[in-house]
Structures are given as C-alpha cells and as structure tokens.
Amino acid sequence: MKRTALSVVILGVLTLVVLPGCKFMSNKELRSSVEVLDFESKWVSTFYQGWPMRLKLAPQISFRVKNLSVKPLNYVNFITNFVSKADQKNLGSGLLAAIRGKALAPGELSNKITMTCDVSVEGKNKKDFETNPGWESYQVKLFAQSKGSQPVLLGIFDVSRDIDFKEDEPVGPKPGEVKK
C-alpha cells in the first residue's frame, strides 16, 4: 500500500513538472505569428514522355515566412489545397513539415519553402497547355499547423499559368539544313 501511494505521488509530481514544458500553440497565436512573404507559383513537370508525346504538369508554390511573435517558432507544418477558381473543385493538396530542428527566431525570415501539388494535369506538350481554353485557373489555400493547433488559413493565392518546363530538342538535321 505504501509503495502504491509513493508511486502515485512521484507520478503526480513528475506530471506537474513535465506538463508546463509542453505548451501548445493556439490557432490565434499561430495566425498572428506567421507572415507569408515572397510568394511565387508556377507549373512544373511531374512526368514527360517524348514519344508518344505526353506531359503531366502540377502547380508548385514557393514562399518564405517571417516570425512575427516574440517567441521562437518551431514545428510548423504547411498544408496546401489547390482548387479551381471557377467552381472550387479540388485538384490536389500537399503537406510539408517545413520548420523543424532549428527554430525560427523572432523577426527572422525562413529559407524558401517549396510545395508541389500531389495531383497533375495531363496534356501532350507545353504548347497544348498554353493554348488550351479548357485549362482551368487555380488558387491555393495555404494553411499552417503547429504543436496541436488546428490548420490555420494563412491566405488564398492565385496560381500563375507560367510553365517551368523545356521540351527536348529534336535530334538530327534541322529542316532546310544541308548535310555536308
């Protein structure tokens, strides 16, 4: 009986010592601690096949965050949701545990964070995408989550139609070129 009582007392004291160190960040604290800067977007190749022609592109975003709080910022996950501007139809999403290990000090700017959608759209080549009237415009909803908070919306950004992809050059003599 004495051993059980002693064990319960020790466990209670340890709990009181350890729990204050495990601080969770509220949604409001997280939202007011993070500022998104240097946002860029483009479409990148996730699959390319020269013959028969086939190209898959996915939206990709990059940004930096600034810590606006007075405390270091650590263990922050970023979540993306890519949606059609016309009807809010979901294209895909992404998750990245970006701020880990070394905390982001108050007032400090993070390194560039890059996230790519997990779903691609398919076409034949780059020109098909650029001239296709059915190629929808998309937006990305960017969320942050940290230490037990719910995902907090940081902003809704338009995804540009810039394509960062260069197709292979044809092999052999160019049309009209004389072979020596």
Give per-residue pLDDT as tens, 114-152.
999 999 888 898 998 888 888 889 999 999 999 878 999
Task: Let me know how many helices (H) and strands (E) the chain has, helices first.
Answer: 3, 9
Quick one: pLDDT at residue 101? Answer: 87
Domains of the chain (ranges; CATH) run 24-162 (2.60.40.10)
Quick one: pLDDT at residue 20? Answer: 42
Three-class HEC string of 5-45: HHHHHHHHHHHHHHHHHCCCCCHHHHHHHEEEEEEEEEEEE
Residues 6+ apart with CB under 8 A from 164: 42, 43, 44, 45, 60
Instruction: Write down the pTM of the prediction.
Output: 0.79
Integer Cα distance of 156 and 75 in angstroms: 22
- Rounded to an integer, the average pLDDT of 58-73 is 95
Give per-residue pLDDT as tens, 66-121.
999 999 999 999 999 999 998 888 989 999 999 988 999 999 999 999 999 999 88
Does the pLDDT of residue 21 top 50, yes or no? no
Of the listed ranges 12-26, 37-51, 69-83, 153-167, the one predicted with least confidence? 12-26
Residues 6+ apart with CB under 8 A from 73: 33, 34, 67, 99, 103, 104, 146
For residues 85 and 140, the answer to whether their CB atoms sit within 8 Å is: no
Quick one: pLDDT at residue 179? Answer: 66
Quick one: pLDDT at residue 10? Answer: 54
